[in-house]
Amino acid sequence: MSLLANPLVTSEQLFQRRSVGALPIEIQDAIFFATQSLTQAAGILLELPQSVTAQANVLLARYWLVENMMADEFSVRTLLPLLPPSPEANRSQDVSAAILYLTAKLSSHPRSPRELSAIYSYLLSKSSPFFRTQQLQNLPKYVPPPESHYQSFRPRLLTLESRILAALSFNTHVALPHPLAITYLQSLDFFCHPRREALARRTIAYLNTALLSPQLLYTTHQPHALAVAAIYCAARDLGAKMPECEWWEVFDVEREELGFLVVGMRSVEGWARERLMVEVPTSEGGMITRGDVERVLREREEKRG
């Protein structure tokens, strides 16, 4: 059964995340959502299975529970290696790329540092539509970075990979709720429903959306509870008739836990649309950077002063 369970966050870790001196929680949420979305986008372009990318999302959430978000760069600008060397440039890391590289290497679908360099270079360039509202035809043409970009990217990637493993105490086990959700759908006879394919897709979509939740649902709840909540949300959306009894108790989920997860899963999309780019507006469009966060913090300090 241990293979179906995950280590969960402690109350002390959650308190430390919100403690005095830490980043404001709304900025932490914006960083978390943006970086997790970047990881998902990179996984798609690298043609990685969703299971690998989802595991990377979970490991990133765990890493940031024990490591300061501002210790590393969330995304390295494409032209960074072309700038004069500086202490800031030397400590710039790409935590999304390192997490994805580590997770893929532990799976049967490894990707090379050069592949990650090319994909992240594109996603973070001005020609990428990632987190931009312009029409695709109005975006500038993508220019591949020079070899020096890769030569600078690779050692940063490997250094941060080692730091992540140390921070996680080399515990990289991640049990995902996706297989459980399919099994539960079969147990509930939902696969006899006329819209069974849509129901399964909607369930998986809720589980993937939960990976981006600022409430860190994958670190606070076990996979079986996430699977039950996703099925409940999908069935309600599609009007699928659910058992009249409290069926979630069969899967060892309490009503209060189910209610919390349902609200959390349903709230991600609305939160992202309303607050993401408002909390930390980027100076160049696209992905949030550490420089953007530092600028917002300075502006807030000046207003208080």
Torsion of the alpha carbons at 119, 54, 37 and 165, rounded to the nearest 10: -70
More reliable by pLDDT, 186 or 73: 186
Cβ distance 116 to 43 under 8 Å?
Answer: no
What gap in Å lies between CA 147 and CA 304, rounded to an integer?
Answer: 45
Q: What is the DSSP string of 37-67?
A: HHHHHHHHHTT--HHHHHHHHHHHHHHHHHS
What gap in Å lies between CA 168 and CA 60, rounded to an integer?
Answer: 10
The highest-confidence range among 229-233, 279-283, 288-292, by mean pLDDT, is 229-233
Tokens representing residue 262 in the block: 């349902």
- CA angle, residues 9, 57, 87, in degrees to nearest 5: 95
Radius of gyration of the chain (CA): 20
pTM (two decimals): 0.88
Instruction: Say what the pLDDT of residue 90 is.
Output: 32
Q: What percent of the chain has pLDDT over 90?
A: 48
Domains in the chain with CATH codes: 24-173+284-304 (1.10.472.10), 178-272 (1.10.472.10)
Q: What is the DSSP string of the chain?
A: -GGG--PPPPHHHHHHHTSTTSPPHHHHHHHHHHHHHHHHHHHHHTT--HHHHHHHHHHHHHHHHHS-GGGS-SS--TTGGGSPP-HHHHT---HHHHHHHHHHHHTT----HHHHHHHHHHHTSTT--TT--S-GGGSPPP-PPPHHHHHHHHHHHHHHHHHHHHHTTT------SHHHHHHHHHHTTGGGSTTHHHHHHHHHHHHHHHTT-TT-HHHHS-HHHHHHHHHHHHHHHHTPPPPSS-GGGGGT--HHHHHHHHHHHHHHHHHHHHHHHHHS--SSSSS--HHHHHHHHHHHHHHH-
Instruction: Say what the pLDDT of residue 299 is.
Output: 87
Q: What percent of the chain has pLDDT over 70?
A: 85
pLDDT at 79 over 50: no
CB atoms within 10 A of CB 93: 22
The highest-confidence range among 28-37, 75-84, 126-135, 169-178, by mean pLDDT, is 169-178
What gap in Å lies between CA 79 and CA 292, rounded to an integer?
Answer: 16
pLDDT at 153 over 70: yes
Task: Tell me the average pLDDT of the chain.
Answer: 84
> Comparing 45-49, 65-69, 96-100, 204-208, which segment has the lowest mean pLDDT?
65-69
More reliable by pLDDT, 115 or 279: 115
What gap in Å lies between CA 215 and CA 165, rounded to an integer?
Answer: 23
pLDDT at 286 over 60: yes
Q: Is residue 73 classed exposed, middle or buried when 0-12, 13-18 and 19+ CB atoms within 10 A define those classes?
A: buried
273-289 exposure pattern, b = at least 16 Cβ within 10 A, e = fewer = eeebbebbebeeebbbb
